[in-house]
Amino acid sequence: MNPFDLPPIAAALDAAYSLLTALAGALATIAPSWGAVLAIVLTTLAVRTVLIPIGVTQVRAQLNRARLAPALAALQKRYRKTPERLQRETLALYKREGVSPFAGMLPALAQIPLVSLVYALFTLPVVGGHANELLAQTMFGVALQESWMTVLASAGAWPSALVGLGILLILAAVAWFSRRQILRTTPPAADPRTASLAKFSASLSFITVVIGAFVPLAAAVYLAVSTAWTLGERAVVRRVLVGRQGA
């Protein structure tokens, strides 16, 4: 069953769609060829602004994990042969430091409903029983409902494929900088296996590039704006929080 067909979710999606199309129509009076794209960008920025508190919580949790990393590594080395004791001592450490081992996880889950709702606006061909007119709009002559892969598979599609390629290059650049940011802010691993796992986890940022190639162009634009915002937000928030700790 499609969760977006459930009455409460469908009603929320239809309301969001009405707001989005109204915004696109208003922007089209200023920039006739860019109303839909500008609406996607502004909607994405609005959503990311609303989610700033969650981003702050996640960065704070990351800083706390980095601060406790040496003590956790010492506990793992000391009690590696007694898992139950290691678990007790680890929980006791978190309690003494006033840090939850799950900090950052619940806020990340809390944003899923809003992000999923907005993402659906840029991917579903039908919303509230009617066609998603936003996806019929174009960007440099390419319909926002087309994915890079479908355009690429069309005959004589290279001029149009360059539009999607540009979005993918943006996603790749953001993923590369995100990977650098994650690796730079991750505490040194205690063993090679953990270090390899950390590098692999950081490289998962590039999944957005793969997703961007298969989703509608509207969703790819959303991903590019959202990931770029997140990258910048984390850098700024981290600098502010570290500055406060050092003050």
* pLDDT given for residue 36 in this prediction: 94
Average pLDDT on 122-138 reads: 91
* Residue 83 within any structural domain of the chain: no
Planar angle of CA 123, 126, 130, nearest 5 degrees: 145
* pLDDT given for residue 218 in this prediction: 96
pLDDT > 70? residue 128: yes
Closest CA to 206 of 183, 232, 235, 177: 177
* Residue 9 within any structural domain of the chain: yes
* pLDDT given for residue 123 in this prediction: 94
List pLDDT tens digits, range 210-235: 999 999 999 999 999 999 999 999 99
* Residue 124 within any structural domain of the chain: yes
* Residue 78 within any structural domain of the chain: no
* Residue 239 within any structural domain of the chain: yes
pLDDT > 60? residue 247: no
Number of domains in the chain: 1
Task: State which residues form the domain around 189.
Answer: 3-51+111-246
The answer to whether the beta carbons of residues 172 and 224 sit under 8 Å apart is no
* Residue 153 within any structural domain of the chain: yes
* Residue 80 within any structural domain of the chain: no
Which residues does residue 143 pair with via DSSP β-bridges, in sequence order? 138
C-alpha 43/C-alpha 118 separation (Å) is 8
* pLDDT given for residue 246 in this prediction: 60
* Residue 130 within any structural domain of the chain: yes
